[in-house]
């Protein structure tokens, strides 16, 4: 089976498409240029950069993407649903759209307030001035929990990033701050206004029951949402089948991505995941 995109014909059996990656513009390790080079080395044909609540990676590239992989403008926007943190990907958006840009400014303000809250909570554990250190780690990128995790590792408070999230920064822990984000309805509207496709990111990572996940997707679809990330990095075939079934039942477009943040992690290598089931309508087929 083949499909055509931007005048080029791809063989769907071999094309590698990764629509969920991060750079130093948020909490990734590689710069946008380094990420594109790394994706090319991993034979990725099409790549979306989807940094958290920012489009700065595309400003840094200044339209100078090498062409392989084909670059898709994307973003990962934070929201909350019934008290749980949820991420929505905006794929193939117009980065110059004023409404989306104003929404991003709102999200960046909420992200800073969240960082200040996490820092205050860590200070109560005896960690001195964590926000200053975390700002230095993030550099010009938007501050995220991985930056706090790195600081905890750097000062010897925990032995590794996984432990930092398990004990302090993961769901239900002191770093799990979901107040202040824009509503899911607003975020979906921003993406649609910018000509993009809203996609629920890594649905399996929320650890919802299938009933609760279906409720989330119902609300997402009612808000105008169009897609679901059926595959996110390495996951079990059973998980993929469950998410594919939801995509078909709810008539949602299927997306896939590595959620890449840094090299050396085999479960999130760019393009290093299984192919989407043939029966699903792919998100790029709607562009």
- Own/partner contacts of 209-214, CB < 8 Å, gap of 24 or more, are 210/242, 210/246, 213/246, 214/246, 214/250
pLDDT reading at 38 higher than 80: yes
Q: Any idea what the CATH number is for the domain that residue 85 is in?
A: 3.20.20.140
Mean pLDDT of 157-186: 94
pLDDT of residue 1: 38
Alpha-carbon distance of 245 to 253, in angstroms, equals 12
pLDDT single digits (tens) 218-260:
999 999 999 999 999 999 999 999 999 999 999 999 999 999 9
pLDDT single digits (tens) 175-223:
999 889 999 999 999 999 999 999 999 999 999 999 999 999 999 999 9
Mean pLDDT of 8-28: 82
pLDDT reading at 125 higher than 70: yes
pLDDT of residue 140: 85
Its domain, for residue 142, covers 2-286
pLDDT of residue 4: 54
Number of domains in the chain: 1
Question: Predicted confidence band at 142 (pLDDT cuts at 50, 70, 90)?
Answer: confident
pLDDT single digits (tens) 47-93:
999 999 999 999 999 877 777 899 999 999 999 999 999 999 999 99
Residue 241: CB atoms within 10 A of its CB come to 12
């Amino acid at each position: 089976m083949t499909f055509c995109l931007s005048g080029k014909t791809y063989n769907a059996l071999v094309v590698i498409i990764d629509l969920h990656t991060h750079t130093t513009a948020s909490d990734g390790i590689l710069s946008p240029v380094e990420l594109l080079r790394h994706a090319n080395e991993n034979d990725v044909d099409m790549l979306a950069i989807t940094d958290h609540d920012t489009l700065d990676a595309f400003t840094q590239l200044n339209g100078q993407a090498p062409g392989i992989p084909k670059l898709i403008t994307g973003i990962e926007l934070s929201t909350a649903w019934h008290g749980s943190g949820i991420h929505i990907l905006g794929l193939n958006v117009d980065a110059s759209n004023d409404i989306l840009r104003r929404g991003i400014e709102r999200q960046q303000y909420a992200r800073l307030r969240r960082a200040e809250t996490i820092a205050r909570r860590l200070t109560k554990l005896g960690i001195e001035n964590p926000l200053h250190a975390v700002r230095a780690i993030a550099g010009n990128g938007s501050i995220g929990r991985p930056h706090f995790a790195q600081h905890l590792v750097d000062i010897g408070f925990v032995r590794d990033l996984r432990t930092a999230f398990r004990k302090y920064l993961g769901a239900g822990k002191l770093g799990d701050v979901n107040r202040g984000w824009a509503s899911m309805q607003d975020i979906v509207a921003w993406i649609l206004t910018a000509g993009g496709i809203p996609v629920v990111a890594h649905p399996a990572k929320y650890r919802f029951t299938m009933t609760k996940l279906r409720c989330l997707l119902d609300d997402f679809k009612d808000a105008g949402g169009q897609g679901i990330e059926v595959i996110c990095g390495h996951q079990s075939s059973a998980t993929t089948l469950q998410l594919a079934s939801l995509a078909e039942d709810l008539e949602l477009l299927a997306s896939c991505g590595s959620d890449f943040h840094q090299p050396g992690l085999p479960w999130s290598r760019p393009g290093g995941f299984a192919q989407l089931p043939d029966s699903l309508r792919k998100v790029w087929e709607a562009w």
